[in-house]
Structure 1
Amino acid sequence: MMKQLRKLLVRTLGFERYIRLVSRVYLRLVEAGWGRQKYPELFFLEQLVKPGFVCIDIGANLGYYSVALSRLVGPQGQVLAVEPIPDFQAIWQDNVRLSGYQNLTLLPYALGGEQKTVQMGTPERDGLLHHGMTKVAASNPQEHYARTYEVPMRVPDELFRNLPRLDFVKCDVEGFEYEVFRHMQGTLRRFQPLIQTELNGLENRRAVANLLAGLGYKPFILSERFELVPCTEAQLSSAVTADFYFQPVSPAPAPELR
């Protein structure tokens, strides 16, 4: 029933107007406290992010995390939102005004290992466009993309090289996380921020966990009791998509000299 309603709304309003409407309604509901059980990670930010923090929202999409982070860091904090898709950037701009703070900066790039133009795509499944699954097309060439975009890519260590502080990183880039973190090691080593990331794909998840372990991080998950608990080997090996938290538990080792 809900799927048919979504298809009807998309046909009636068009894709952009539909996601603009849905995102605005969602943000209003979250502001009123709805969704704590369905989206616990979003509400758990209250336990992690403090006033004055500097945060990076990688894969900002329509601004759900950006709005929450902006409110939590307050006027003395800063949120850098990385979102390469122009249509999503416009909706992000409208949605973040709800935060009431002038502490957000939009970085209109994909992140990866080169400074170049890359193709990203919004997949279509069962007749529906899934804007939240928009990804670098090369990361999953088997996917059917109903919309594609040519966007600029930047290397994260270069993009963030002038940051004076970094406390929290949220990263959700639909299976491209390893490539992002692989080219962000200098920034992570320098600040050792808390990291929250959704890791699609077992190979990608393993690669990220191993990379971050080499930087002094250990993985955690959010328990049903709303607490961070150490991630088990079985959870790391599960095919189920989930958010993982990586906390620094030891100083990052110095990079090897070549």
Structure 2
Amino acid sequence: MTEDRRALSAGLDQVEKYGASSKIGRFIKKPMHYSLVILHRKIQYKFLGREKQVKCKTFFNEEMHLSLPSSTDIFLSGGKTHDSEVRLARYFISEVKAGEVFFDIGAHCGYFSLLASRLVGEEGSIVAFEASPKTHQMLCQNLSQRSNAEIHHRAVSDTNGTVKFYEFPNLYSEYNAIDAEQYKDQNWFKKHRPVEANVQAVTLDFFVRSHSIIPTTIKIDVEGAEYKVLSGSKNVLAKHSPTIAMEYLSPRRNNQNHVLANNLLLDLGYSAHIIDSKGLLQKTRDLDEHMRTSGLESDNAVFKPA
């Protein structure tokens, strides 16, 4: 590992440490930031519904625009603190090389796109897709100055055309999705209904062919639309065999679409891996069993050609 990558890994260690600390520990580490987050969420957002635009420095030393109360962990620690996201970042730091082409499908505000932009360097490329109209604006703020990145306000799916997309209020924006009904049994869903928007969808097969760009790694985080993304990518997968990093849900969270996505990749000759605490891949034959034994609600799986 190069000196730069070791520095990134050390920075991620601090993100992980902050995420594992108690509320008191987080306050002591960043009292002003922590107080701002709590006061905004408990007063301004709760009673007035107002978001707060802020900037922060990530653990990889890039400035990032955020809208509180979402992405609070990035604002406080400089990174995503969920265990699965820390392990995914470790994997990318270890395995995404200079000169590669990184597709970020469901880029949200651009955290992983920015990290990948640093990793692939000027000789590489980032292609970020975000369907949410509101989140896309913040993604543009974060990536527009990156010469190696391009941004597409598109849903990636199994057909080209217009699709309905559902945006939730800021606190629940991580659940923005093509299918909002998947959340109907969640307690928060009844109080926080989404806004419907029409967005353009594109298949990866069409996009890659029309833009003459071939992905090396594809990160997919699309809240239940993983199977649609991969169904529209079969030619790319069969011909170019990019590495796939994909969110995978626990069986108790109605993960039928994730199972279909997993099976599609296995049928194309891929093998599934989980990411260990060091960012290394461990092959698995049963992701559902991994989810049950780990107790996680969600995790990131990596699929590589067998």
Structure 1 residues 213, 25: CA separation in 2 closer, same or farther (over 3 Å shift)? closer
Which residue in the other structure is 2:227 paired with? 178
Alignment of 1:131 onto 2:173: yes
Q: Partner of 1:113: helix, strand, or coil?
A: coil
Q: For residues 74 and 9 of structure 1, what CA distance do their matches in structure 2 show? A: 40
Residue 138 of structure 2: which of 91, 104, 119 is its match?
91
Which residue in the other structure is 2:15 paired with? none
1:200-239 correspondence runs (5 A): 200=249, 201-233=254-286, 234-235=289-290
Deviations 1:5-52 (A, max 9, x none): 525342567237375256598268437xx8495622123211121000
- Count of residue pairs brought into register by the alignment: 242
- Residue 205 of structure 1: how far off its partner (Å): 2.1
Q: Which residue identity is paired with 1:137?
A: D
Alignment of 1:160 onto 2:215: no
The answer as to whether partners of 1:139 and 1:176 remain within 8 angstroms in 2 is no
The answer as to whether partners of 2:73 and 2:81 remain within 8 angstroms in 1 is no
Residue 117 of structure 2: which of 61, 65, 70 is its match?
70
Which residue in the other structure is 2:304 paired with? 247
Q: For residues 17 and 59 of structure 1, what CA distance do their matches in structure 2 show? A: 21
Q: Which residue identity is paired with 2:119?
A: L
Which residue in the other structure is 1:256 paired with? none
1:178-197 correspondence runs (5 A): 178-197=227-246
- Structure having the higher helix fraction is 2
- Residue 237 of structure 1: how far off its partner (Å): 6.7
State the identity %: 24
Unaligned runs of 5+ in 1: 250-258
Deviations 1:38-96 (A, max 9, x none): 62212321112100000100001100111011110000000000112221111112222
Unaligned runs of 5+ in 2: 1-22, 24-36, 55-65
Structure 1 residues 8, 189: CA separation in 2 closer, same or farther (over 3 Å shift)? farther
Q: Partner of 1:61: helix, strand, or coil?
A: coil
Return 78-87 or 233-242, whichever deviates more: 233-242
> Scaled by the length of structure 2, what TM-score is found?
0.69
Alignment of 1:80 onto 2:137: no
Q: Partner of 1:244: helix, strand, or coil?
A: strand
Q: Which residue identity is paired with 2:256?
A: E
> Scaled by the length of structure 1, what TM-score is found?
0.81
Q: Which residue identity is paired with 1:235?
A: H
Q: For residues 106 and 146 of structure 2, what CA distance do their matches in structure 1 show? A: 20
Which residue in the other structure is 2:3 paired with? none
The answer as to whether partners of 1:196 and 1:244 remain within 8 angstroms in 2 is yes
Q: Partner of 2:78: helix, strand, or coil?
A: helix
The answer as to whether partners of 2:179 and 2:224 remain within 8 angstroms in 1 is no
Deviations 1:154-197 (A, max 9, x none): 22211121434321000000011001101111111121111100
Return 5-14 or 133-142, whichever deviates more: 5-14
Return 171-180 or 9-18, whichever deviates more: 9-18
Q: Partner of 1:94: helix, strand, or coil?
A: helix
Q: For residues 45 and 219 of structure 2, what CA distance do their matches in structure 1 show? A: 29
- Residue 116 of structure 1: how far off its partner (Å): 2.3
